[in-house]
Structure 1
């Protein structure tokens, strides 16, 4: 589809500096822009490309003042990065809206309710007694167990598996091959050294506006529910164990593992490869840097933690300085011992 610069500026509540009638039909990086594309400039490290780009339009902050001449029209907004994100979302919506109807072969179980304007891809399986909202996109090879609920405007990409009785909210995105509701890791050791499986009878509840990345696993609860609260964003290859609760607007980067029955508060940020032991509580607004290990409750809000076992980031940085000096300190200690002898 093709839009004028003026139409895009109206959509973004921005103003145009330059030719309002220029037409754009694609998005591009500023350094790769060509005629008919639109880009953005949010990081001044890329300012040099504004003066050489062939893009027809560039979104910039209102506070930005060019230092040289440039050719594209500028769309001035409060926050260029946020505005371009909005544009990406609208572009994605236009592309996804073309997916409608039920492809064959696919299977829909008895007593399942399908909302309006849905898409079900080939080889998808939907069990008995499910409730699927309006404008839901279910891509090929998705499998939904019995009595699953999927809210309005949610997208399940190819290969997603949702076990029986799980609940997926509205406006969610679950990426390819994620598994929602698989058994929690529950095994009771026996006297003879074997392990007895503990039945996992609960479910998973994913609230609204949640994003879950590819190949991420969210285990069902032993009893009750594993819960992902509103607005949480979870990266690829994350493991969330049984009875875990992830708070509102918390973000979790790839390869993080959260052990059973731990609770992560609202608006937390977990870096890549973070590990959280079981039955812990991480309070609101906690930031945990990459590869950190959490082995105790975090009660004070707003802390930045790093290291394994994790400690406050400033303490960990000071410890790292000492750690790097250990070989030299050992040598000095040996020299002192030799002098004493």
Structure 2
């Protein structure tokens, strides 16, 4: 499938600089661009690639001004990254064949209502009392437990496990290996030093437009529920513990871990390996840098880094000081020696 520069510019509302008749049939990274592909430039650190890329078309921001000749045709848009994402979405819609029907062998419990145009892949299991909405995609080897509800247009990829009682909203995506609604980590210490399991009788809830990455776990509530609110996107290998309340439109990168009963607000960004202690509250519009450790509540509109996490400017100053610790240790030892010498006089 080929697209002309004029078609792409028209779809994106962009401005063409160069050959308006050039065609592309695939996409590429700007540093790996080949003839017949479309790339994008959003990060200034990659600007040097635009002068040597073989990509036929490159999306750039309207503010971009080249400092030397470029062989590729440019399409200037308001936001090159968002424009590229829109094109990828269009490409996927045009090239992906949506499956329908129930493959065999699979098991759908008697009386389970399936919506229109549902796909159930081979070896999938759907338990009693489940409710499956319209155009839901349940891929092979998925386990859907009893009394699970899945909203319209949601996708559950191969091998995901959805525990009983879980509620999944509309347009959600649960990637392979994810487990939603598993037991929270609750054990009562006994007098003899052993631990007695505390039954976990709550559920997990994913609101609309939530995405859960591969091998991520969202535990059910001990009582009540664990909830991921609408629009939140969670990467691979993330742990959300029991009774957490995760707000709207957050993004969590890989290996984030959030301990039980923690409440996270809206529009937050947690980088990789961020860890949050239990029973704390994080406000809105908070950014936590990679490997930050948070053990107490955080107010809104902050950027924190480090373990324990502190304000980013302080963290950078502390990091700079840390680099000089070996020299400072040597200086202190020398000063101590000099002081001892003075005392002996």
Provide the alpha-carbon RMSD of the alignment. 2.1
| Match in the other structure for 1:94 | 94
With over 3 angstroms needed to count, the CA separation of the structure-2 counterparts of 1:322 and 1:74, relative to structure 1, is: closer
Does 2:101 match 1:116? no
**What is the 5 A alignment of 1:17-36?**
17-36=17-36
| Match in the other structure for 1:170 | 170
Distance apart, 1:332 and its partner CA? 4.1
**What is the 5 A alignment of 1:26-175?**
26-175=26-175
Q: Deviations over 1:76-107 (max 9, x none)?
A: 21111110011112222334443333222222
Does 2:337 match 1:335? yes
SS in 2 for 1:113: coil
| Match in the other structure for 1:244 | 244
SS in 2 for 1:227: strand
TM-score by length of 2: 0.91
Alpha-carbon distance in 2 for matches of 1:190, 1:334: 52
Distance apart, 1:214 and its partner CA? 1.0
Distance apart, 1:156 and its partner CA? 1.6
Structure 1 residue runs of 4+, over 4 Å off?
none
Alpha-carbon distance in 1 for matches of 2:26, 2:274: 37
Alpha-carbon distance in 2 for matches of 1:152, 1:22: 39
| Match in the other structure for 2:226 | 226
SS in 2 for 1:218: strand
Distance apart, 1:54 and its partner CA? 3.2
SS in 1 for 2:204: strand
Aligned residues: 340
Alpha-carbon distance in 1 for matches of 2:161, 2:294: 29
Alpha-carbon distance in 2 for matches of 1:3, 1:320: 49
Alpha-carbon distance in 2 for matches of 1:182, 1:138: 19
| Match in the other structure for 1:308 | 307
Q: Deviations over 1:252-307 (max 9, x none)?
A: 12112111101111111212212211111111122222222211122x32122222
Distance apart, 1:337 and its partner CA? 4.9
Alpha-carbon distance in 2 for matches of 1:224, 1:26: 48
Alpha-carbon distance in 2 for matches of 1:321, 1:121: 54
Any gaps of 5 or more consecutive residues in structure 1?
Answer: none
Distance apart, 1:150 and its partner CA? 1.5
SS in 1 for 2:180: strand
Any gaps of 5 or more consecutive residues in structure 2?
Answer: none
SS in 2 for 1:114: coil
With over 3 angstroms needed to count, the CA separation of the structure-2 counterparts of 1:333 and 1:259, relative to structure 1, is: farther
Distance apart, 1:53 and its partner CA? 3.2
